[in-house]
A and B are shown apart, each in its own frame.
Chain A
Amino acid sequence: MTSMKTRGRRSALAAAGIAAITALALTACAPPGASEPAPSAGSEGEEGGALKVGFISPTTGNFAVAGQEMVDGWNLYWDLNGAEVDGITIETIVEDDAGNPETSLTKAKKLVEQDEVDFIVGPLIANTALAVAAYTASVDVPNLHPVAASDDLTQRAANDLTVRTGSMGGSQANYPGGEWAATDGGYDTAVTLCADYAFGWESCAGFVQGFTQNGGEVVEQIWFPNTTTDFSTYVSQIQAAGADVVYVATAGGAPGPNFLNAYLGLGLDMDDLLLNCCAADQGTLRTMGDQIVGLKSVSYWAEGRDSEAVAEFVDAYKEFADGKVPGAYVAGGYMTASLVASVLAERGLVTGEDLVSAITEYTFEDSIFGRVSWDDYNQMVGPVYVREVTEGDDGNFYNTPIATFEDVDQWLGRSPEDALAQPTYSQSFQGLE
């Protein structure tokens, strides 16, 4: 036994020693390729016209539906208009990250180092988006975000190479909802029910600040775990709170219809309900149908808006997706593609930091979101719509604007410095003093 032990120990020690020595000897000289320069940063109009785009999206796993929609939106634009702008061809490589930040990062590295893409679009989930944005900035590659809603992407974690092109932050998109409820809506008190994680905290913070800054009073804030399926207890709490208006924010998917079923099932009145983007997205509208005609919600995307750009996009998507109306994820992908095309048409082939500044200096007059521009932190400044569910001539249900707030920025009535000095939003901090 003793001899075995010592032998084992000795050989292990020897192996470790050899490993350490070889490692030391070899690390003294760098492998070939280690000193190769990083992919060229920011250049204008070189070697003809081709843009290589890396698109990261969760097309498998829990977020597969949303991830696929985002990709579909991007592809739809290029299918419709041809993947060429003034002689510049657009080639897209789609990579799946399954919603996992580590995979997302590996895919970003693969796209940058192996495929040498000019910029990266995506990914979708907040933590994957922040991880990829930090990496792409470190290697001087632009990163465009069609859907990711995390406030910090263009606030505390903002950088010169990351730009949100197809969506708004959680607080930004819901702030006008609060303003509307307190003014045009004519409500004095509100109760909120939001998903209990970053996106819900931010959405609620936006609504609450808009509501209180315009003289409203929030009597109670209720939070639900993302996995909730039975909302009846929350509906009872809402009833007990006895407020004039009920604001509900989910992150999309099943919670929207589940909440509405519980709420309507108890015979409560839908008129005093205001939902966020995702609680009243196309998924909810398709599930609930004509029960919810007249339901109000607030978002930067309104598929029922009377505009040429929207009509063209909606018709094209309906043809592509068997008559389905596009939701915010498809719109984000399509918006990003149309933005890239417009910028290329105006500025010619731009890459690197020049591409990002070309986007942020651009004002997109007739986008599917309306007139949008970008602020110093590369965040979209544009219209937010209070919408109502209507039934279209085609039998589909649309969110149609009943009120429009133009040029909504991400600072909720503060200066950027003041806003950034605050802690991040949470259950306990909603931006109220």
Chain B
Amino acid sequence: MSNRIVETRTVRTFGPPRRDRVQLTNMALLALLLVAAIALPYLGASGFMVSLASTILIAATLASSVNFLAGNGGMVSLGHAGIAAASAYGAGWASQQGMDPGMQVLVALGMTLLASFLYGLLSMRTSGIYFLMVTLAVGMLIYGLAFRLSSVTGGENGISGIERFEWLDSYWTYYYFVLGVFVLATAALWIVSNSPFGASLRGIRDSESRMRSLGYSVRSYKLGAFMISGSVAGLAGLLAVWHTHFVSPSSAGVDRSVHLIVMVILGGVGTLLGPLIGAAVVVMVENLLSSYVDRWPTLLGLIFILVILFARAGIAGSAGKLFRRLRARSKAASSPEGDAPGGAAAPPGDRHAVHQGKDPQ
């Protein structure tokens, strides 16, 4: 599994800028999407729809944190729901003790850092399938604690009645808040991915031994990456608990972590908008389609299988791929003797273009 995910590294909508025009189209697309998202409550969407959009954005934030690790570090985590749950339980516990939302944020932050550090510490020596197993185990640990430590967590019943800030009280202000956090988190992860730190992470992903022999401290890079990803996951956990006013052990469950992976793979590993697309598909099937289709879990499974079979780079990844293939074809048609076999036009180091050139032949 991990191997297959690593393979998809060649598909990245946002790498080093290839051509200014592609960059420009992407930026325009993003701006359009953002405007649509901002306009949503004004387009006659009901309170329920806006609240569902918040759910999608929160799931997308959490999926982005998984995507960051999987895309840049090749580390597929099966325990990220645990980090979000740790943060949510922190906020829940604080609210139970009668603390105001400000303190909830601090306790949630503390729990997030603690959980991320624990995850990072235990998993930084591992990679591939072992990384997956370690994160799965720590996730189970958090689930077990939530389930069994009933004096603090309320056991299976969970903690309810968790209130957010008063100025976030109405559903639409909260939607804008969630949207803002999602945009900022995505931007932050994108900036980190395109920094030297991100490049080193990809180096570690591609060849750990080479990076080590170059003098990089692989473990500290992995721990750092986990802390960054964990912080975003914790943020998503806090958003979720403020959205539902409720937290229970099922939010730390393995199936939740698996859902996150499904979102990331559906959307496209390592893509900027993949997590959002994946989250939208999963959340809508779960919450909207399930009202009309009895066997909606089967449907979700079918969608997943189809994406794996026919669009292995995910929805966002494959759409980008298709778009570029079309462009390359039209370009090749207009200047046949030009840069057809793909070498010359592509900037050095741009794997995608090289790959692209070979593919159609």
> Could you tell me which A residues sit within 8 Å of B by CB distance?
4-5, 7-9, 11-12, 15-16, 18-20, 22-23, 26-27, 30-34, 36, 59-61, 95-96, 98-103, 105-107, 109-110, 113-114, 126-127, 130-131, 134-135, 150, 152, 157, 196-199, 201, 423-424, 426
Contacts and interface: CB of A to CB of B under 8 A. Distances in A.
B280 to A, nearest CB: 14
A21 to B, nearest CB: 11
Contacts of B147: 197
B301 to A, nearest CB: 12
B197 to A, nearest CB: 11
B158 A23 contact: no
12 contacts: A15-B34, A33-B46, A33-B47, A60-B290, A101-B158, A101-B248, A127-B156, A127-B250, A135-B245, A152-B157, A199-B156, A426-B155
A33 B171 CA distance: 11
Given A15-B31, A102-B251, A426-B151, A130 B44 contact: no
Given A19-B180, A34-B172, A102-B251, A198 B157 contact: yes
A131 B161 CA distance: 9
B297 interface: yes
B199 to A, nearest CB: 9
B153 to A, nearest CB: 11
A4 B34 CA distance: 24
Interface in B20-65: 27, 30-31, 34-35, 38, 41-42, 44, 46-48, 51-52, 55
A27 B176 contact: yes
Given A31-B41, A130-B160, A198 B155 contact: yes
7 nearest A-B pairs in the assembled complex, by CB-CB distance = A31-B41, A127-B248, A113-B48, A198-B156, A131-B246, A198-B155, A134-B160
A131 B158 contact: yes
B102 interface: no
Contacts of A23: 38, 176, 179-180
A301 B86 CA distance: 39
Given A4-B17, A101-B248, A107-B287, A127 B158 contact: yes
A379 to B, nearest CB: 16
Nearest to B240: A102
A34 B295 contact: no
B263 to A, nearest CB: 14
Contacts of B129: none
A11 B30 CA distance: 12
B150 A31 contact: no
B98 interface: no
Q: Which of B30, B172, B190, B244 has the largest number of chain A CB atoms within 10 A? A: B244
A113 B244 CA distance: 15
Contacts of B240: 102
Contacts of A27: 173, 176
A103 B160 contact: no
B103 interface: no
A60 B155 contact: no
| Majority-rule SS of A interface residues | helix
B187 A15 contact: yes
Nearest to A132: B246
Given A4-B16, A131-B160, A157-B160, A105 B44 contact: no
A61 B157 contact: no
A102 B157 contact: no
B154 interface: yes
B180 A30 contact: no
Nearest to B47: A113
A199 B296 CA distance: 29
Given A5-B195, A34-B170, 7 more contacts: A4-B194, A5-B194, A16-B187, A18-B34, A34-B41, A60-B297, A127-B249
A103 B170 CA distance: 20
B248 A110 contact: no
Contacts of B250: 99-101, 127
Q: Which of A101, A102, A114 has the largest number of chain B CB atoms within 10 A? A: A102
Nearest to A29: B42
Given A16-B183, A98-B297, A8 B172 contact: no
A109 B161 contact: no
A15 B244 contact: no
Contacts of B151: 423-424, 426
Contacts of A114: 46, 48
Contact of A19 (B44, B173, B183, B246): B183
Given A23-B176, A100-B250, A59 B156 contact: no
Interface in B307-355: none
A96 B42 CA distance: 30
B303 interface: no
Contacts of B106: none
Contacts of A110: 48, 287, 291
Given A7-B17, A23-B38, A105-B244, A96 B294 contact: yes
Given A102-B251, A134-B160, A32 B46 contact: no
B7 interface: no
B297 A30 contact: no
B187 A150 contact: no
A18 B179 CA distance: 13
A96 B287 CA distance: 9
Contacts of A152: 157
